[in-house]
Amino acid sequence: MIDEAITAGKVASKVRDLSLKLVKPGAKVFDIAEKIEAKIISSGCGIAFPVNISINELAAHDTAMINDKRVLKKGDVVKVDVGTHIDGFIADTARTVIAGEPNNSLVICVEKCLSNALKFVRPGEKISKVGEVIQGVADSCDLSVVKNLVGHGLGRYNVHTGVSIPNYKNNESGVFKKDELVAIEPYLTDGTGSAVGINRAEIYSLNRLKPVRVRKARELLDWVVKERNGLPFCKRWLNGYGKQLDFILNLLTRQGILTEYKVLREVSEKRVSQREDTVLLVDKPIITTK
């Protein structure tokens, strides 16, 4: 487990840093997404989840759409969130770049939030210490934490499992356990500080299998089971279903077979920054995505 997690982390950080070079005014969101995912595969890893590219007030869960025509503009706040895995052991990491402009306080501050918090991510330490540190840095920058987006445990073939790690001051009593894999991911905004789903989903995952009568839906589900092993996927990967795709995904979501992840937007529509690293909680913790 340790070797796989470390190798997945090395690839994730390499791909993430490459993607930062792709973020510039005039670049197409579609091209960035496809290049990042191709690089994960050619580096010998699996894709743990579709690369999230979330722009400005969109905080998370966005990725390139089918035939996405969006082009980055100067000043866009672009969050690139990359997930790799080897044999189900996941690395999850994100950075924020301002297209064509130097980092602003939103980016500098979230960097400080994460680097300060990571010092306390170690076996036996209180999980609430992370939120305390992040909230302290955010306050000093006069920015808000996006409270309903949190750090999390990473299980085998499971992107969100086990512990939940709030980014704000809290009184929860849990401690980090040895040998677990966790992702620490503060989000900052100059807005209200919460994220809500909009009426668009790009990313889905299997919730629970049930019999399906529609043939095309069954076909899609067979692909999900065979290719994703419980990991998320996106509409862009299913372009071949053509006009039926939305119908099939809605059907499977309504039946509770799939979970859909709506694109999340900061409630006051203010811009959001994010930074994330994965930590392996051995005695001397390893930041696998450094």
Size of the site for Mn ion (CB under 5 A): 6
The 10 Å CB-count burial string (b at 16+, else e) for 45-72 is: bbbbbbbbbbbbbbbbbbbbbbebebeb
Q: Find the binding residues for Mn ion in span 80-119 (CB under 5 A).
A: 81, 92, 94
Distance of closest approach, residue 94 Cβ to Mn ion, in angstroms: 5
- Cite the active site residues: 81, 92, 152, 160, 185, 276
Q: Find the binding residues for Mn ion in span 183-202 (CB under 5 A).
A: 183, 185
Looking at residue 263, the DSSP 8-state letter turns out to be E
What are the φ/ψ torsions at residue 270 (nearest 5 degrees)? -100, 160
Indicate the residue among 57 and 92 with the shorter CB distance to Mn ion. Answer: 92
Interacting span for Mn ion (CB under 5 A) from 76-84, 172-180, 196-204, 259-267: 76-84
Task: Give the count of beta carbons closer than 10 Å to the beta carbon of residue 114.
Answer: 26
Distance of closest approach, residue 48 Cβ to Mn ion, in angstroms: 9
Q: Give the integer Cα–Cα distance in Å for 22 and 34.
A: 11
Contact 278, 91 (CB under 8 A): yes
Q: Give the integer Cα–Cα distance in Å for 84 and 62.
A: 17
The residues near 242 (Cβ < 8 Å, ≥ 6 apart) are: none
Distance of closest approach, residue 145 Cβ to Mn ion, in angstroms: 15
Interacting span for Mn ion (CB under 5 A) from 3-11, 162-170, 181-189, 262-270: 181-189
Indicate the residue among 32 and 252 with the shorter CB distance to Mn ion. Answer: 32
Distance of closest approach, residue 155 Cβ to Mn ion, in angstroms: 12
Indicate the residue among 187 and 241 with the shorter CB distance to Mn ion. Answer: 187
Indicate the residue among 30 and 261 with the shorter CB distance to Mn ion. Answer: 261
Interacting span for Mn ion (CB under 5 A) from 13-21, 38-46, 73-81, 237-245: 73-81
Distance of closest approach, residue 263 Cβ to Mn ion, in angstroms: 15
Contact 77, 53 (CB under 8 A): no
Interacting span for Mn ion (CB under 5 A) from 109-117, 167-175, 177-185, 261-269: 177-185
Indicate the residue among 111 and 276 with the shorter CB distance to Mn ion. Answer: 276
Residues in touch with Mn ion (CB under 5 A): 81, 92, 94, 183, 185, 276
